[in-house]
Amino acid sequence: MRAQSSATTSSGIAVAGTGKTGPVAGGRSFGTLQAALGVVAFSLTFPATAWGLEGFGPWSLIAVRSILAAAIAGGCLLALRVAPPERRHWAGVAVVGAGVVLGFPLLTTLALRTSTTAHAAVVVGLLPLTTALLSALRIGTRPSRTFWIAALAGAAAVIAFTVQQSGGALTSADAYLFGALLVCAAGYTEGGRLARVMPGWQVIGWALVLCLPLTVPMAAVALSFEPVHLTAHSVAGMLWVAAGSQFLGLVVWYRGMAAIGIPKASQLQLAQPLLTLVWSVLLLGEHLTVAAPLTAAAVLVCIAVTQRTRG
């Protein structure tokens, strides 16, 4: 692949992949919109994974979804003749791959074999706060005290609600979920940092391609041991986690993080568990309690505060 000229589109994506983005697309409000679209895409991940597990084994689902997403990303990189990242960026790309391409899907899929989507949403309830903390440690972001108070309040509201939804009991799946929390926060932080110097879609695109030497053999082995039963649900679930969650959602998410900052973008994910629970009711037939609208209102207030604070 070779680089072309540094022409960019009006939205700030480098057409030829020179490693630099153009002006922030549409300002901070457009960045917030993109990050919010990423949250909506991610909120469908757990229900789509549950659908996918109806026809695929957990290891097959993880490997095949990554390969399909890599095929989409690789096709875009080839079509636009994008040059590979500079050598100094490959370590960061590897962290993104380990966190959001392999680690988070693997651990959450294993957890969802025995956990409901409502219980699994606990990990997402802690993810915004964990991402903001890692961003402060890794990049040196310094949000205001008001930001941290609102972030803690939002995390507490989401955790209280999701634990109540799952009956308050810890399960064997919790070890997977908390591990997923840490690796995903690391992948988000590193991806948000890289999205400042290269287009967000290239960050996740190269991470997916980098993981192919692991995901292709994994798929070959897993498919030989785990039977596949194709159904409408399993195919739809597989396609969404591959194209929506693993690629398109991360594209707009990383662009949003680059535009408005990792801490503020991360707090938009406070809404993700509640959205996931709504999808769980609509798509999986799970039950929602009357506490949902009250929690949603509290979370929206916390999000509004974090978006208006300095940093």
pLDDT digits (tens, 9 = 90+) for 280-310: 888 888 776 677 767 777 777 887 777 677 6
Residue 56 has what DSSP assignment?
S
Q: What is the pLDDT of residue 9?
A: 37
pTM, two decimal places: 0.78
Distance (Å, rounded) from C-alpha 4 to C-alpha 16? 5
Number of alpha carbons in the 13 Å side-chain half-sphere of residue 141: 27
- Tens-digit pLDDT profile for residues 51-77: 999 999 999 999 999 999 999 999 999
Task: Return the pLDDT at 149.
Answer: 85
Cβ atoms of 225 and 57 within 8 Å: the answer is: yes
Residue 184, pLDDT above cutoff 70: yes
The mean per-residue pLDDT over the stretch 34-38 comes to 92
Q: Which amino acid makes up residue 87?
A: R
Measuring CA to CA, which residue among 219, 53, 47 is closest to residue 120? 47
Sequential DSSP letters for 296-308: HHHHHHHHHHHHH
Torsion of CA 140, 143, 145, 146, to 10 degrees: -160
